[in-house]
Amino acid sequence: EAQVTQNPRYLITVTGKKLTVTCSQNMNHEYMSWYRQDPGLGLRQIYYSMNVEATDKGDVPEGYKVSRKEKRNFPLILESPSPNQTSLYFCASSLSDKAANTGELFFGEGSRLTVL
């Protein structure tokens, strides 16, 4: 089954404790992206990747890192989480950036992160 898998789905952590949210897709997609969803703000892009070893900042990259060493994985790293990073995070993938432009994005089920 084609899917985007995120882990963990729920996490409560404390300020400053490094954490990683994993994202894996099994569709051989080139394009992957991370979003955060906050009430009243919709989804905002954090980072995206056009292919392996090609990542770039989105609209709200501060406090986050990503890597793309393999095509299927695109982890989101919070080196020193702060309470303002409490949010619902979505990973998405698409065949290519052009496919993403036509709305063909596949989303994971989300990871709800709480930073105390």
Partner 1 sequence: AQSVTQLDSHVSVSEGTPVLLRCNYSSSYSPSLFWYVQHPNKGLQLLLKYTSAATLVKGINGFEAEFKKSETSFHLTKPSAHMSDAAEYFCVVTRAWWGNTGKLIFGQGTTLQVKP
Binding mask 8-47 for partner 1 (x = CB under 8 A): -----------------------x-x-x----xxxxxx--
Q: Which of 21, 100, 113, 115 binds partner 1 (CB under 8 A)?
A: 100
CB 88 → partner 1: shortest distance, Å? 10
The answer to whether residues 86 and 115 touch, using CB atoms and an 8 Å cutoff, is yes
Q: How many CA atoms lie within 13 A of 69 on its CB side?
A: 3
Residues in the chain: 116
Nearer to partner 1 by C-beta: 17 or 47?
47
CB 49 within 8 A of CB 58: no
Per-residue interface string for the shown chain with partner 1, residues 57-86, x marking contact by CB under 8 A: -x----------------------------
Q: Rounded to the nearest 5°, which phi and psi values hold at 98?
A: -65, -40
Q: Which of 21, 23, 48, 89 binds partner 1 (CB under 8 A)?
A: 48
**Residue indicated by tokens 């292919």:** 51
Contact present, 24 and 4 (Cβ < 8 Å)? yes
Instruction: Give residues in contact with partner 1 (CB under 8 A).
Output: 4, 31, 33, 35, 40-45, 48, 50, 56, 58, 90, 92, 94, 96-98, 100-110
